[in-house]
Amino acid sequence: MRLEIGFGTEPQIVEIPEKNIIGILEPNQVDVASTGAEEVLRAIRDPIGTKRLGQIIRPGEKVAIITSDITRPLPSYVIMPVLLDELYAAGVKREDITLVFALGSHRAHTFDEMKKLAGERAMNEIKCVDADPKDFIHMGTTGMGTPVDITRVVAEADRRICLGNIEYHYFAGYSGGAKAIMPGVSTREAIQANHSRMVMPEAAAGRLQGNPVREDLEEAIRYCPIDFIVNVVLDEHKKIIRAVAGHYIKAHREGCKFLDRLYLKKIESRADIVLVSQGGAPKDLNLYQTQKALDNAKHAVKKGGIIILAGSCREGLGERVFEEWITSAKDARSLIDRIQREFCLGGHKAAAIALVLENADIYLVSELSPALVRSIFLKPYQSVQAALDAAFDKRGKDAAVLIMPYGGSTLPKLAEQ
């Protein structure tokens, strides 16, 4: 079978014997009434758990719209014209609206990247800025001790509207909802405190209730209220097929239910070889982001099996602390020991990779130098085909292969569970 595997902006082609393939985890079929801007408009006009924006926001109030950064596939440029029309109709002036890009712990944007994310109209009509984690206001502390330190332009706004896309998150359960605030526009110290709970077994993909990371970040909204969200679910082509709007929990949960119908994949057994990709750019810009697909793939591979992780990583490892941890470790196990002694944001993803290596080999297909890849305990390959051939050499010609073309979005779950 000839398959196309997402890799940066240019997919790779791989040939796999059909007899070896036990599954291709593509999205489930769901009924979709509307898509794109039409679906966003429907959601905004029929909010869940709140009134419409025109009944919430008063003319003269300062409005902060928080949206995702360049590492996320959220098509803010599709949402913004619809949202701006709704705000203008409510009497909000252009000069009272600021679009804030939620950087979390990621790098700042170039002007061209902001324009690509926001779209021409938003860039021309309203102020668009990156969150500034060094200019923040302390708004409170959660019961778990996480400081609610929020970038000033968001903290000082009269109203906050959060945008996001909903997908599985390997320790917050799902993305979207309150994550636009925590970690989106929070300080590094706040993010580190929240994310330190990732080592708890209840912090898992697809889990909301009892998840300490999710519960902590949603408690932060008591101190930095969200007035309205617009969250979307994307198909494998990154097109909006479902939108939810309104209350930051009630609307978000409806979006999560739809995501499960689309991307939760039951599997009968684990595979000897799991071939996984983020689906290409922008999700595989660096290893820090590509790791998300790896973490979902771990649920589908046999102990002692092989995960072939395909991601361009053309921007390198992607985060300073992550790079320091993973390149300075003497072996993978030491990363797990270190995170248990001293949780550190950035280091947590190095430890997450090490946890996967406890049970499986990782063959990385990327643009990183082979020497660098070997130094971080992974096996380097320049093509998916070469990695697959090597995997068959190790696991045998009858090895069972499972393919996850959109690994960051797809969550495998054993049928018996």
d(CA 246, CA 52): 8
Q: Is the dihedral of CA 222, 224, 228, 233 positive or negative?
A: negative
Measured in degrees and rounded to the nearest 5, phi and psi for residue 94 equal -55, -40
DSSP assigned state of 201: T
- Decide if 334 contacts 389 (C-beta within 8 A): no
* 340-374 as b/e: b if 16+ CB within 10 A: eeebbbbbbbbbbbbbbbeebbbbbbbebeeebbe
Measured in degrees and rounded to the nearest 5, phi and psi for residue 286 equal -150, 170
Question: Given a cut of 90, is residue 227 above it in pLDDT?
Answer: yes
Question: Given a cut of 90, is residue 74 above it in pLDDT?
Answer: yes
> Residue with structure tokens 């995501």?
259
**What confidence category does residue 228 fall into, taking pLDDT thresholds of 50, 70 and 90?**
very high
pLDDT at 107: 80
Q: Which residues contact 72 (CB under 8 A, 6 or more apart)?
A: 165, 282
Residues of the chain with pLDDT > 90, as a percent, come to: 84
Give the pairing of strands 12-15 and 2-5.
Answer: antiparallel
Instruction: Render pLDDT for 14-24 as a digit per residue (tens, 0 to 9).
Output: 999 999 999 99
Question: Given a cut of 90, is residue 47 above it in pLDDT?
Answer: yes
Please compute, for residue 4, the number of CA atoms within 13 A of its CA located in the half-sphere on the CB side: 7
**What confidence category does residue 250 fall into, taking pLDDT thresholds of 50, 70 and 90?**
very high
pLDDT at 260: 94
Nearest-10 Cα torsion for 262, 184, 140, 161: -70
DSSP assigned state of 109: P
Q: How far, rounded to the nearest angstrom, does the alpha carbon of residue 239 sit from its chain's CA centroid?
A: 16
Instruction: Render pLDDT for 346-365 as a digit per residue (tens, 0 to 9).
Output: 899 999 999 999 999 999 99
Instruction: Render pLDDT for 170-211 as a digit per residue (tens, 0 to 9).
Output: 899 999 999 999 999 999 899 988 988 888 889 988 999 999
**What confidence category does residue 104 fall into, taking pLDDT thresholds of 50, 70 and 90?**
confident
- Decide if 356 contacts 333 (C-beta within 8 A): no
d(CA 244, CA 229): 8
Which tokens sit at 146?
């996480």
Cis-peptide, bond into residue 212, ω within 30° of zero:
no
Supply the angle between the helices 76-89 and 111-118 in degrees, to the nearest 10: 70
> Residue with structure tokens 């000082």?
156
Mean pLDDT of 233-255: 95
Selection from 308, 299, 290, 282 nearest residue 364 by Cα: 308
d(CA 392, CA 370): 20
pLDDT at 417: 64
Q: Is the dihedral of CA 71, 75, 79, 81 positive or negative?
A: positive
Question: Given a cut of 90, is residue 105 above it in pLDDT?
Answer: no
Selection from 215, 227, 185, 40 nearest residue 100 by Cα: 185
d(CA 212, CA 198): 8
pLDDT at 343: 79
d(CA 275, CA 42): 37
**What confidence category does residue 73 fall into, taking pLDDT thresholds of 50, 70 and 90?**
confident
pLDDT at 53: 96
Least confident interval from 16-25, 101-110, 112-121, 215-224 = 101-110
